[in-house]
Amino acid sequence: MTMEYTCKIDDLGRVLIPRDLRQSLDWKIGDNLSFRRIDDVIALRIAKADKKSECFICKKPKMKVRINNKDVCASCLEKVMIMMAK
């Protein structure tokens, strides 16, 4: 499928990616994008997961889940759930 849009670069260098394009690619707020330049074309895609990603709470690199666009390790998630149950 081909979709083409025209937009302006604002004074801070930002470009708005249209909502329907983001939705069609299942891009969410907080997703990290990877840029690749190939001659005069720029390709955007969701960045591959960083092996050094860390928990938003304890800052340790661990296996994690994503909650409200924040990475949280299983240990911290369990602690939060216990606190919320009280």
Encode pLDDT of 11-59 as tens digits. Answer: 999 999 999 988 988 888 888 888 888 888 888 888 766 556 788 888 8
* Res. 1 pLDDT band, cuts 50 70 90: low
The CA distances from residue 38 to 5, 6, 42, 44, in Å, are 19, 19, 6, 11
- The domains located in the chain, with CATH, are 1-48 (2.10.260.10), 50-86 (no CATH)
75 with 58: CB under 8 angstroms?
A: yes
Residue type, 46: I
CA–CA distance, 53 with 38 (Å, rounded to integer)? 28
* Predicted pLDDT at 68: 79
* Predicted pLDDT at 49: 60
